[in-house]
Amino acid sequence: MKRVEIDIAVIGGGPAGLAAALKARELGAEKVLILERNIELGGILQQCIHDGFGIHRFDKRLSGTQYAQLFIDAVEQSDIAVKLDTMVLEIGADKTIYACNKSEGMLEINSGAIVLAMGCRERTASQVLIHGDRPAGVLTAGAVQRYINMEGYLPGSKAVILGSGDIGLIMARRMILEGLAVEGVYEVMAAPGGLTRNLVQCLDDFEIPLHLSTTVTAVHGRKRVEAVTVAQVDGAMKPVAGTERRIECDLLVLAVGLIPENELSRAAGVEIDPRSGGPLLDENFMTGVPGIFAAGNVAVVFDLVDYVSASGEIAAAGAVNYLRGKLGEEKSRRPVKAGENVNFVVPQRLGRECGETTFFLRVSSPQKAATLSCCSGKKLLFKKRCRFLAPPEMLTFTADASGGDELVIALKEEAGRR
Amino acid sequence: MIKEFVCIVCPNSCRLTVSEENGEITVSGNECNRGVEYGLSEYCNPRRMLTTTVAISGAVLPRLPVISTAEIPKNKLKRCLEQLYSTAVTAPVQSGDIVLRDICRTGVDIAASRSIYRKNDRESDEEAGR
Amino acid sequence: MRKIKKALQKAFPKVELSVGLDDRGILTLYGECASWQQLVDIGHKAARLPGVENVVNELRVAGQRIPQKDYRPLRDAGRSRGLAADVDVLIIGAGITGCGIARELAKYKLDILVVEMSGDVATGATKANNGNIHPGHAEKPGTLKARLNVEGNRLYTRWAEELHFTLQRCGAMGFITSRWLWPALLYGYIKALKNGVEGVQLVGGRRAVELEPGLKRSAIGVKGAMWLPTMALVEPYQVTVALAENAAENGVRFWFNCTAADILTEKGAAVGAVTTKGIVRSRIIINCAGVYADEISAMAGDKSFTIHPRKGVIAILDKARSPAYDCLCDHVTFETVRRTLQKSYTKGGGMCYTPEKNILMGPSASESPDKEDLSTSARELAYAMGRGDETIDYSDVIRYFAGNRPADYSEDFIIGMSPITAGFINVAAIQSPGLAAAPAIAGKVEQIVAAAAEERGEPLERDPGWEPLRLPQPEFRHLSRAEQEALIRKDPRYGRIICRCETITEGEILDALRSPVPPASIDAVKRRTRAGMGRCQGGFCQPRVLELLARERGISWTEVTLKGEGSRILLKSNRPRAEGGADK
């Protein structure tokens, strides 16, 4: 078995892993290695050919592929080691990584620190309790995106899309441009999940109807999809009897949510936050296992790739400091609590002297205008006004959160404002 | 003529009404001035970025993603796509390489939005020589 | 006969019935009833009446069209193709039963052909089975089911050794937490003894916890248990694939997408069949057609039973939910005893797990007239999910699916040479415990075929070249790191992981694609290798499996199907003009 000694191992060569590796090298880590299961770097961005990436980071509207290319070029120009077509099979709590590929066989990688950047997977038809038949023609949005954009094939001719998040909307436009008919986009929630820009440019531009509070309940067709049944849902998301409608189509595209892929993390002993779906993290994006960090969508599903890259850099900085012994072995960490209208916050716990810390959070329900507050006991650490808050959009801020006890982050409705 | 738009400049999503009377165009429903600008451009000359793929041969993948170097008039998108769909390129390609110049006389170029290598010869040998 | 009619009219006063009874005790029901469930209930009631061996149910349901397969066009198409094969044995159906029989008969000098209407082995009831190799304690003593179950369970050890499929003798335990339930255990114990179940024991609470330490963890105060050490687990499709592959290696031919549309007879003896691939001549025809077995038997002039499909829905959970017990544990309570005493045919199953440690919930059990209806509903899933403990949540579910049990009205296996058509052997109504009984069923059919040959004066001759062993294929996920390293060194294709959720390598998928009975669809690859069986359900690996499948079979990407004919995944290339119309 081939043994590899490395300072920082980055698991996953998507946007989080690329940013983490570059940052770690920039901060002086000597031997940085990216382990990527695909045959090329870039992760899921390689199938995101639409524009709108990098607005915060580069002040440009790049395509996903362009965004990835900037990082890939930088990695290729650096001395960061990359192992492609390499699958990590196991991470031990002692940070030993077992991975394999065709050319080197089994690898045992001993790493000073690890950055987990495996990304996420899509929820499937069974996970959203769609019933009826199980024919060909039911695919997740990501699979459709891959088939059309990378493999060059059309998996249907008339599609129904479930889920109005940006992924669902982008795929609606993609399929129209590829000559498919899109019967409509269905959304179980009462409000659309995607940005207004995408509602306008992906749906309105092509006169694709959006049906809110409506879901797909059944698929029909024993071999290939022939139709689906949609039904309106009540306040408890349960289909309302009598509202069923049968729609002829040959493709059902599911854009119904993402799940962080933490199977490796769990096996390494990393504790998972049931609300974020990712590891419990501290201000350095370090997990509960010292020396193992998490970044990108494996940490929490971000809405913007800019934040994914940012999280990679936070984790990389933490990993470099860990290697240098600068991260004290803190026994007790202060919890960060989700207060009023906050669904979850990352990081979930902080060291005593955490300093400037970047927080990422999502709201529980939409708010037109609210004041974000970050308090330690009675002390207000940070405050800002926010407008047009919605659960699909991530909110981020940076504040010095050193000292004190537990933190509470809340969003209080602004009285008298609309 | 009266047209309605949803403004996408900020998350406020104002519902704009653009009306034209005797050659004079007015925008209403906007909460800020940026809405006027958006409403006018959507009414007079709506433009969109174009992203799609073209066929590529000799590469690790059969499709190359491309992007317009600027926004293209909305009413020309279809014609541009037609042209792109009969375009084929050969690997290798660098991100930013121009695939089509001045597409459909829009003055806009179409560029590769990623770099793509030639198919690894070793890999194809292995598949062929099994 | 009058008695029978009277009894039925008393039980179903509102139904207009007429009956016919032949000298074999086959009761045929005619008339019209109110619902499909009532139709099934009448059939069950009739089958339990004295003097009735089995029931042909020709009842109609008022206002409901019962789907019927139209064999005419298939028959015409098959006839027009002329003679396609002349064999010694024709087996109709490639489920566990048909493949088991094919494998056992392959030891003789016989030309054997298996025809299967779908595109792969194990696509009917077999694939939707939960993989339990029951000990045989639950069957009614004296039935064919009871005898073949106990015998089949024992024979599985040999099958597993020869064919290299996974067989886990996990054992099963019915435990009680109230002393008042000892009589229930005792009743079960006596039944198990009557059936000849090996190793069955009644044990006290302390011994039960020793046998299953998981019971200590759950701290529920076990008072006693019935211990069934022979309970085992398999993957039903893995067993079937192993049988088919071994059969094929010994010369058995498999024709897929081939429906039997008629049975040809001459002077009361079977001489062949019309299939959609042409006429097949054969003097021995073995009917293993699952839910269609009644229709095939009728084609042979032997209308002696009716199959009423009983649908079962099973939910499979993420491996992250590991089973609480090593053996299959069943908490016997007053509630479960009450349910058992209800004598319902629609109890369904409970909670168990697969050899790969995925928990299975269900199956449910519901009667439905359509033999090919494999749809699921919220109600059926809720039933399956409701049979476990309260810690199980819908969010753990990665997939649910349905299968149709081929139930008849006697609710026993039908295995035997037709008294009407010589050479035509029914192996029908093989529902639970059909998987467990499969080796015994195959053995029994082997005897029937041998006896028939003897009678004809052409006794079966052993094939000296018969190879009972099927070589094991590597399963990367189960190897130690050092073994994995050695395997990749030997063949680098085992070093590329295609299915990340289940850790399935390119090498394993290629092994399957180059096997004696190669998979022809994405689902067929999944059943052989587990690629796409995990939590992402093929979201990531399907394009890679599709690529390998297309390459190995020499077909274009757009010809690859999910589950056989009519289920293409990709419809066309999206740049035909730029690519000169060619698919890659």
Q: Name the residue facing B115 among A69, A150, A196 (closest C-beta).
A: A69
Specify if B94 maps to a domain. yes
At residue B122, the pLDDT reads: 45
At residue A316, the pLDDT reads: 98
| pLDDT digit string, tens, across residues A216-267 | 999 999 999 999 999 999 999 999 999 999 999 999 999 999 999 999 999 9
At residue C349, the pLDDT reads: 66
Note whether C89 and C449 are within 8 A (CB).
Answer: yes
| Both tokens assigned to C128 | 């939707």
Q: Name the residue facing A150 among B6, B13, B61 (closest C-beta).
A: B61
Locate tokens 């195959």: which residue?
Answer: C442
| Rg of chain A taking only CA atoms, in angstroms | 22
Neighbours of A211 (CB within 10 A): 17
Summary mean pLDDT of chain B: 90
| Rg of chain C taking only CA atoms, in angstroms | 25
Pairing of strands C424-428, C284-287: parallel
| Chain A nearest-CA residue for C488 | A105
In sequence order, the β-bridge partners of residue C281 are C86, C272
Q: Name the residue facing A102 among C493, C501, C570 (closest C-beta).
A: C493
Is residue A15 less than 8 Å (CB to CB) from chain C? no
Locate tokens 């992007």: which residue?
Answer: B67
Do B35 and B55 fall into the same domain? Answer: no
At residue C582, the pLDDT reads: 45
Which of C510, C546, C575 to probe by mutation at the B interface, max B CB count within 10 Å? C575
> Which range is most confident: A85-89, B4-8, C341-345?
A85-89
Task: Name which of A70-79, A332-341, C50-59, C240-249 the model is least confident about.
Answer: A332-341
**Which chains neighbour B (Cβ–Cβ under 8 Å, 3 or more pairs)?**
A, C
Q: Which tops the pLDDT comparison, C284 or B130? A: C284
Domain C139-153+168-233+309-404 CATH class label: alpha beta
The percentage of residues in chain C with a pLDDT greater than 70, rounded to a whole number, is: 97
The percentage of residues in chain A with a pLDDT greater than 70, rounded to a whole number, is: 98
Is residue C536 less than 8 Å (CB to CB) from chain A? yes
Looking at beta carbons, which residues of chain C come within 8 Å of A218? 375
With 60 as the cut, is the pLDDT of residue A417 above it? no
Do B35 and B61 fall into the same domain? Answer: no
Looking at the complex, report in whole angstroms how far the Cα of residue A32 sits from the nearest Cα belonging to chain B.
23
With 60 as the cut, is the pLDDT of residue C581 above it? no
Structural domain including B116 reads 51-125
Do B57 and B112 fall into the same domain? Answer: yes
- Sign of the alpha-carbon torsion through A345, A346, A352, A356: negative
* CA-closest candidate to residue A145, choices A49, A2, A29: A49
DSSP label of C425: E
DSSP label of C496: S
- The 3-state secondary structure of chain A reads CEEEEEEEEEECCCHHHHHHHHHHHHCCCCCEEEECCCCCCCHHHHHCCCEEECHHHHCCCEEHHHHHHHHHHHHHHCCCEEECCCEEEEECCCCEEEEEECCCEEEEEEEEEEEECCCEEECCCHHHCCEECCCECEEEHHHHHHHHHHHCEECCCEEEEECCCHHHHHHHHHHHHCCCEEEEEECCCCCCCCCHHHHHHHHHHHCCCEECCEEEEEEECCCECCEEEEEEECCCCCECCCCCEEEECCEEEECCCEEECCHHHHHCCCCECCCCCCECCCCCCECCCCCEEECHHHCCCCCCHHHHHHHHHHHHHHHHHHHCCCCCCCCCCEEEEECCCEEEEECCEECCCCCEEEEEEEECCCEEEEEEEEEECCEEEEEEEEEEECCCCEEEEEEECCCCCCEEEEEEECCCCC
> With an 8 Å Cβ cutoff, are A103 and C562 in contact?
no
Encode burial over A335-368: b for 16+ CB neighbours within 10 A, e otherwise: ebebbebbebbbbbbbbeebeebbbbbbbeeebe
Report, as an integer, the average pLDDT of C180-202: 96
Summary mean pLDDT of chain A: 95
What gap in Å lies between CA C333 and CA C181, rounded to an integer? 7
- Sign of the alpha-carbon torsion through C190, C192, C197, C200: negative
Is residue A124 less than 8 Å (CB to CB) from chain C? yes
Q: How far apart are the first and last CA of chain A?
A: 64
- Set out the domains of chain A in order of their start, with CATH numbers: 1-121+258-329 (3.50.50.60), 124-256 (3.50.50.60), 331-418 (2.60.40)
Looking at beta carbons, which residues of chain B come within 8 Å of A72? 115
At residue C391, the pLDDT reads: 73
Using pLDDT thresholds of 50, 70 and 90, give the confidence band for residue B128. Answer: very low
| Chain A nearest-CA residue for B65 | A49
What gap in Å lies between CA C379 and CA A285, rounded to an integer? 43
Which residues are CB-contacts of A133 (< 8 A; sequence separation ≥ 6)? A219, A220, A221, A222, C374, C375
- Largest Cα–Cα distance in chain C? 79
Which residue type is seen at C148? Answer: L
Do B83 and B30 fall into the same domain? Answer: no
What gap in Å lies between CA A230 and CA A237, rounded to an integer? 13
> With an 8 Å Cβ cutoff, are B55 and C575 in contact?
yes
Degrees to nearest 5, angle at CA C527 with C499 and C377? 100
Task: Name which of A20-34, A126-140, A354-368, B110-124 the model is least confident about.
Answer: B110-124
Domain boundaries, chain C: 2-61, 72-126+237-307+411-456, 139-153+168-233+309-404, 476-559
Looking at the complex, report in whole angstroms how far the Cα of residue B74 sits from the nearest Cα belonging to chain C.
22
What gap in Å lies between CA C103 and CA C124, rounded to an integer? 19
Do B115 and B63 fall into the same domain? Answer: yes
The percentage of residues in chain B with a pLDDT greater than 70, rounded to a whole number, is: 92
Using pLDDT thresholds of 50, 70 and 90, give the confidence band for residue C341. Answer: confident
Which of C69, C373, C401, C540 to probe by mutation at the A interface, max A CB count within 10 Å? C540
Note whether C432 and C126 are within 8 A (CB).
Answer: no
At residue C453, the pLDDT reads: 96
Note whether C230 and C197 are within 8 A (CB).
Answer: yes
| pLDDT digit string, tens, across residues A86-139 | 999 999 988 999 999 999 999 999 999 999 999 999 999 999 999 999 999 999
- The total domain count for chain B is 2
Is residue A415 less than 8 Å (CB to CB) from chain B? no
Name the strand (E) or helix (H) holding B54.
Answer: strand B51-57
Looking at beta carbons, which residues of chain B come within 8 Å of C574? 53, 85
Report, as an integer, the average pLDDT of C475-489: 97
Locate the DSSP E strands across C183-318: 201-204, 224-228, 232-233, 253-255, 260-266, 269-275, 278-281, 284-287, 308-317
Do B55 and B84 fall into the same domain? Answer: yes
How far apart, in Å, are the Cα atoms of A140 and each of A42, C520, C540? Answer: 20, 23, 10
Which residue type is seen at B79? Answer: R
Note whether A49 and B49 are within 8 A (CB).
Answer: no
Specify if B74 maps to a domain. yes
CATH numeric code, C72-126+237-307+411-456: 3.50.50.60
* CA-closest candidate to residue C384, choices C394, C370, C375: C394
Name the strand (E) or helix (H) holding C361.
Answer: strand C359-361
* CA-closest candidate to residue C510, choices C551, C539, C469, C471: C551
At residue C388, the pLDDT reads: 67
At residue A337, the pLDDT reads: 95
Q: Name the residue facing C577 among B63, B85, B127 (closest C-beta).
A: B85
At residue C583, the pLDDT reads: 43
Which sequence positions of C are flagged as catalytic?
Answer: 134
Q: Name the residue facing A388 among B6, B11, B114 (closest C-beta).
A: B11
| pLDDT digit string, tens, across residues C424-472 | 999 999 999 999 999 999 999 999 999 999 999 999 999 999 999 999 9
Name the strand (E) or helix (H) holding C338.
Answer: helix C334-341
Looking at beta carbons, which residues of chain C come within 8 Å of A263? 320, 501, 535
| Chain C nearest-CA residue for B54 | C575
Do B57 and B6 fall into the same domain? Answer: no
Locate tokens 């934040």: which residue?
Answer: A307
In sequence order, the β-bridge partners of residue A114 are A9, A292
Specify if B130 maps to a domain. no
Note whether A247 and A230 are within 8 A (CB).
Answer: yes
Note whether B91 and B118 are within 8 A (CB).
Answer: yes
| pLDDT digit string, tens, across residues C57-97 | 999 999 999 999 999 999 999 999 999 999 999 999 999 99
Do B76 and B115 fall into the same domain? Answer: yes
What gap in Å lies between CA A9 and CA A14, rounded to an integer? 14
At residue A47, the pLDDT reads: 98
- Give domain C476-559's CATH architecture: Orthogonal Bundle (1.10)
Which of A65, A180, A195 to probe by mutation at the B interface, max B CB count within 10 Å? A65
At residue C344, the pLDDT reads: 62
Note whether B114 and B95 are within 8 A (CB).
Answer: yes
- What is the signed CA dihedral for B27, B30, B31, B36, rounded to 10 degrees? -50
Looking at the complex, report in whole angstroms how far the Cα of residue C551 sits from the nearest Cα belonging to chain B.
9
Asked if the bond preceding B92 is cis, omega within 30° of 0, the reply is: yes
Looking at beta carbons, which residues of chain C come within 8 Å of B60? none
Is residue A1 less than 8 Å (CB to CB) from chain C? yes
**Which chains neighbour C (Cβ–Cβ under 8 Å, 3 or more pairs)?**
A, B
- Give domain C2-61's CATH architecture: 2-Layer Sandwich (3.30)
* A&B contacts, CB < 8 Å: 73
Q: Name the residue facing A136 among C488, C496, C568 (closest C-beta).
A: C568
| pLDDT digit string, tens, across residues A53-99 | 999 999 999 999 999 999 999 999 999 999 999 999 999 988 999 99
